[in-house]
Amino acid sequence: MKTKEIFFIGLTLFSMFFGAGNLIFPPFLGMEAGTSFVPAMLGFIVTGVGLPFLVLAAVLLVKGGAQELAGRVHPLFGTIFIAIIYLSIGPFLAIPRNANVAFEMSVKPFTGTSSTVTLFIFTLVFFSLVYAVSLNPSKMVNYMGRFITPTLLVAIGVLCVVALSHLDGALSAPTEKYETGAFFKGFIEGYATMDALAALAFGIVILSAIHSQGVTEKRAVMKYTLASGLVAGAALAFVYVAIGFTGAKMGSEGSFENGTAILADTASMFLGSSGTVLLGIIFTLACFTTCVGLTIACGHYFEQLSPKLTYKFIVTAVTLVSLLVANMGLNQIISVSVPFLVTAYPLTIVLVVLSFMTKKRKVYAGAMLLTGLVALCDGLKAFGVSLSGLQPVFDALPFSSLGLSWVVPAVCGACMGLIWDQTKPTHTPPVSKAA
């Protein structure tokens, strides 16, 4: 493959990762972190950039991909866990969330309302375009890598350069949340991008793009995938720092409810109505490319999982379900996504870390079991479910105040699994008697 092709595949991968959450959370983190911006952003980049590409590498190292990796716990667990991940980053959470954010930023500023009719018309047009592009995955690199992503990066660059050239105030003091442990707070915020979960799905899409270039030898595929991943990772880190620092500088201009408000005020403050249009373009392109990537990934996965289902049928189903869920509204979608991410991310992190350390099934089972129990408790807590007497026990776990209460149980579970594996009875073949 030529360097140019690797570069465009890298931009395609960037565009698939870079969606609504990637735009919303960095500027809000920057505003809240203030003078603690550097450690907070480093933590965010670890889970927002480093972890997704660690997941991508882990998936590539396993012959059967993400399902085979999760299947090291148990084959049934592998099928159920990965199917849930695909459905969550697909039609039930991530895709509808992106469509809603695109609507909020590109249509609502000009209509002043968010009526159900207006939302339905927008999402109908939006998902019609997603459907049309997703039906031709072989042309994805041309659509996204060569045209859409460069436009998106230029638009983000213009907004950040203009804003930072005018914002010369000092960074404000960090909010109470970031006064201590800023790195770990940023680390947890990186969950919200959903990119580590998406990486479990995008591996199959990038492999298809590389195979379409005539590359099939395993070592070459690994080489080109990681090279394109470096391109995507560098672009993601650069954009996170740029919009995050913009949010940090905007902290001196007032308080904002979320990252969307920060970017909206930034655009209108320095570019007027043109800035509102520019921001609408940025959000729509970012959300569109992510929706396309996720739809294609779901199509490939469920086609392999059930060969009786055609790729076109799955893409049609994913698009229609996404359209219906998107019309439930952004707040309802977000209220469900946060508890799910708090539960799913620790399991994904433990699964990926173990993939580089061992293939022993009992180690996976022990680590995932204890991690899952703690992560489920944290997820229910985030959903507002009270566990009464059990909650103080989980809150007493090490690193609980940092949102990492699952770490020690994961290590203990892995050690228990290793001991279990080492103490298994050995079968001694009978000694044959001489004739």
Q: Is the model's pLDDT at 100 over the cut of 80?
A: yes
Please indicate, yes or no, if residue 92 is contained in any of the structural domains: yes
Q: What's the half-sphere exposure (Cβ side, CA atoms, 13 Å) at 288?
A: 29
Rounded to the nearest 10 degrees, the angle between the axes of helix 195-211 and helix 218-250 is: 140
Kindly report, residue by residue over 322-365, the tens digit of the pLDDT: 999 999 887 788 778 878 888 888 999 999 999 989 989 999 99
Choosing from 331, 366, 393, the residue where a domain stops is 331
Which range, of 101-105, 164-168, 191-195, 412-416, averages the lowest pLDDT? 191-195
Per the structure, how many domains does the chain have?
2
Same domain membership, residue 377 and residue 325 = no
Q: Is the model's pLDDT at 23 over the cut of 70?
A: yes
Same domain membership, residue 418 and residue 273 = no
Q: What's the half-sphere exposure (Cβ side, CA atoms, 13 Å) at 216?
A: 2
Same domain membership, residue 163 and residue 99 = yes
- The pLDDT of residue 430 is 59
Kindly report, residue by residue over 181-234, the tens digit of the pLDDT: 999 999 999 988 888 888 888 777 777 778 777 887 878 888 888 899 899 999
Same domain membership, residue 324 and residue 410 = no
Choosing from 284, 315, 331, the residue where a domain stops is 331
Please indicate, yes or no, if residue 122 is contained in any of the structural domains: yes
Same domain membership, residue 162 and residue 63 = yes
- The pLDDT of residue 435 is 39
What three-state secondary structure class fits 339? helix
Same domain membership, residue 323 and residue 200 = yes
Same domain membership, residue 418 and residue 312 = no
Please indicate, yes or no, if residue 246 is contained in any of the structural domains: yes
Please indicate, yes or no, if residue 243 is contained in any of the structural domains: yes
Please indicate, yes or no, if residue 434 is contained in any of the structural domains: no
Same domain membership, residue 364 and residue 316 = no
Same domain membership, residue 172 and residue 108 = yes
Q: Is the model's pLDDT at 57 over the cut of 90?
A: no
Q: Which of 313, 325, 284 is nearest to 135 (CA)?
A: 313
Same domain membership, residue 325 and residue 363 = no
Same domain membership, residue 278 and residue 133 = yes
pTM above 0.85, yes or no: no
Please indicate, yes or no, if residue 256 is contained in any of the structural domains: yes
Same domain membership, residue 139 and residue 100 = yes
Alpha carbon separation from 167 to 33, 62, 68, 248, 318 (Å, rounded): 17, 48, 50, 10, 43
The whole domain housing 215 covers 3-331
Q: What is the mean pLDDT of residues 273-286?
A: 91
